[in-house]
Structure 1
Amino acid sequence: MHYETNCADRIKIVWWDGSGVCLYAKRLEQSKFCWPRIGPHRVQLNHAQLLALVDGLDWKKVRPVAVKRPQSVG
Structure 2
Amino acid sequence: MIAPSNTYKIYLATSPVDFRKGMDGLASYIVSNFELDPFSGAFFVFRSKGRDKMKVLMWDGTGLVLIYKRIEGAGFVWPKLNEGNLSLTKSQFEALFEGLDWRRVESATYHRPTVA
> Is TM more than 0.5 here?
yes
One-letter code aligned to 2:67: Y
What's the counterpart of residue 56 of structure 2? 13
What's the counterpart of residue 102 of structure 2? 59
Tell which deviates more after alignment, 62-71 or 19-28.
62-71
> Quick check: which has more Rg, 1 or 2?
1
What's the counterpart of residue 37 of structure 1? 80
Root-mean-square deviation (Å)? 2.1
Gaps of 5+ in 1: none
Percent identical pairs in the alignment equals 34
One-letter code aligned to 2:93: L
Separation (CA, whole Å) in 2 of partners of 1:41 and 1:27: 23
Gaps of 5+ in 2: 1-15, 17-47
How many residue pairs align between the two structures? 70
Which deviations, in whole Å up to 9, do the C-alpha atoms of 1:13-63 show, x marking residues without a partner?
111111110011111112211111222331111111110010001111111
Distance 1:48 1:39, change over 3 A: same
TM-score with structure 2 setting the length: 0.51
Which structure shows the higher helix fraction? 2
